[in-house]
Amino acid sequence: MALRFPDGFLWGCATAAYQIEGAPEADGKGPSIWDRFVHTPGLMQDGATGDVACDHYHRFREDVALMKQLGMQAYRFSLSWSRILPEGAGRVNPGGLAFYSDLIDELLAHGIEPIITLYHWDLPAVLEDQGGWLNRASSQWFADYARIVFEAFDGRVKTWATINEPWVISHEGYLRGTLAPGHRNLFEVPLVSHNLMRAHGAAVQAYREVGHHAIGLVVNIEPKYPATPSEADAAAAHRASAYMNAQYLDAALLGHYPPELREIFGEAWPEHDPADFDLIRQPLDFIGVNYYTRAVTRRDDHDWLLQAGVVRQTQATYSETHWEVFAQGLTDTLEWVRERYGDIPLYITENGAAFFDPPKAEGGRIRDPLRTDYLQKHLLAVHAAITQGVDIRGYMVWSLLDNLEWSQGYSKRFGIVHVNFETLERTPKDSARYYAQAIARHGAILAEPL
């Protein structure tokens, strides 16, 4: 079976600063909320930290060479705000800018297009001390930071994303407490979400003043399917989707939150100043979609927030993060975005899976057939959406390297390249070879996995 993707379709991979860089104090970097989180006893699986991670900070040239070897056309990475502004605002640290400048040059020298995420969860610690995303001034802090990096890099970088996954930030960081800053307070969730969206809007505004290319928002989308045709299960799926999938895109593109949220949050739902939506709703050049899995949802009154429980699929494959492998959900997601928000260019900014990788076999090969199978199915799912007319511009696999899977530490390997966290040696897995072949053949997907 040979499938072709549109001309100009961008094939690449994605990472995030805190998950790979290490070097938390190098060249004048200030601390972020993740430096604090990992050094707070009891929060991290196996006591893991990002102090070294993949040591990408010192090995980025090797990593770019690896990308080149795999044929990557684009690389989505995030900037560490506190490398560039150690105090979050004010004084710019030339050492921080220099690192990213060198990385961008290295990518361009290898013909790889940089795609920058401004915020992938590592807020400068000093700003957290001023309330972090709960402070309405955070939109100004973010826009000021954004302007600095736009001015520094927009000549060389053509694609920018403001914030990675506002839902995960607010839900995991402020409700469940599994991500920094580790709060558990329902009342904070809509306030943080709102300030994240105000920050997004303020950064897009700044971009229109100083930038010349494309900027968008990255959201995670997990389609919700009702377990039965019953009214109760359909309503549960609907609530879950309003909360997780529609909340941020509705605000950014339609200028209001889904009406279901008022009922979901109850007394924790704040009155929003209508003028805020003029800031939040900015024309965007693209939407970045991160897709991993779906949820099959039934009404469950024990679930206090959404009255929605998740039904495990007995016939399905689950990855190491307990996420069902369900590629049709990616096609459905891309079609849902077009249906709800109209024709706007989309990138798949993350897609991938953690699987247990068997140790290296003879010849140094790492056989990860489940990951290869995951990639193949999801590339087919992307192609199916393209066939349906959805405007999809590129696909970034999560992730280039095994890395720090946030509070789960190094226990979950998402890389298509294996990292030995003792020696820091990189070894492309079979899935990397598979992906490299898919790229080399312009997306013609080989029927047989390697």
Contacts with ligand PNW by CB under 6 A lie at 16, 19, 164-165, 168, 220, 222, 290, 292, 350, 398, 405, 414
Kindly give the pairing relationship between strand 214-220 and strand 286-291: parallel
Cβ contact 261:269 at 8 Å: yes
Q: Which residue is at the shortest CB distance from ligand PNW?
A: 220
Q: Give the nearest distance from C-beta 180 to ligand PNW in angstroms.
A: 12
DSSP letter for each residue of 20-31: H---TTGGGPPP
Our CB check for ligand PNW shows the closer of 97 and 264 to be 264
DSSP structural state of residue 230: S
- Chain position carrying tokens 């989505």: 76
Residue 440 to residue 216: CA distance in whole angstroms: 27
Our CB check for ligand PNW shows the closer of 114 and 223 to be 223
Our CB check for ligand PNW shows the closer of 19 and 297 to be 19
Residue type, 345: P
Ranges assigned E (strand) in 307-366:
308-310, 346-351
Q: Give the nearest distance from C-beta 145 to ligand PNW in angstroms.
A: 19
- The annotated binding site is made up of 19, 120, 164, 292, 398, 405-406
Kindly give the pairing relationship between strand 295-299 and strand 308-310: antiparallel
Our CB check for ligand PNW shows the closer of 15 and 82 to be 15
Q: Give the nearest distance from C-beta 163 to ligand PNW in angstroms.
A: 11
Ranges assigned E (strand) in 320-376:
346-351
Our CB check for ligand PNW shows the closer of 257 and 292 to be 292
Q: Give the nearest distance from C-beta 222 to ligand PNW in angstroms.
A: 5
Residue 278 to residue 276: CA distance in whole angstroms: 5
Q: Give the nearest distance from C-beta 208 to ligand PNW in angstroms.
A: 26
Residue 147 to residue 159: CA distance in whole angstroms: 15
Residue 347: strand pairing partners: 288, 394
Q: Which residues contact 201 (CB under 8 A, 6 or more apart)?
A: 139, 252, 279, 280, 281, 282
127 Cα distance to chain centroid? 22
Residue 391 to residue 31: CA distance in whole angstroms: 39
Q: Please give the structure tokens belonging to residue 341.
A: 């928000």
- The annotated binding site for substrate is made up of 19, 120, 164, 292, 398, 405-406
Q: Which residues are catalytic?
A: 165, 350
85 Cα distance to chain centroid? 22
Residue 131 to residue 57: CA distance in whole angstroms: 29
Our CB check for ligand PNW shows the closer of 128 and 222 to be 222
Residue 81 to residue 87: CA distance in whole angstroms: 9
Our CB check for ligand PNW shows the closer of 307 and 403 to be 403
Q: Give the nearest distance from C-beta 290 to ligand PNW in angstroms.
A: 6
To the nearest 10 degrees (0 to 180), the angle between helices 188-210 and 138-153 is: 30
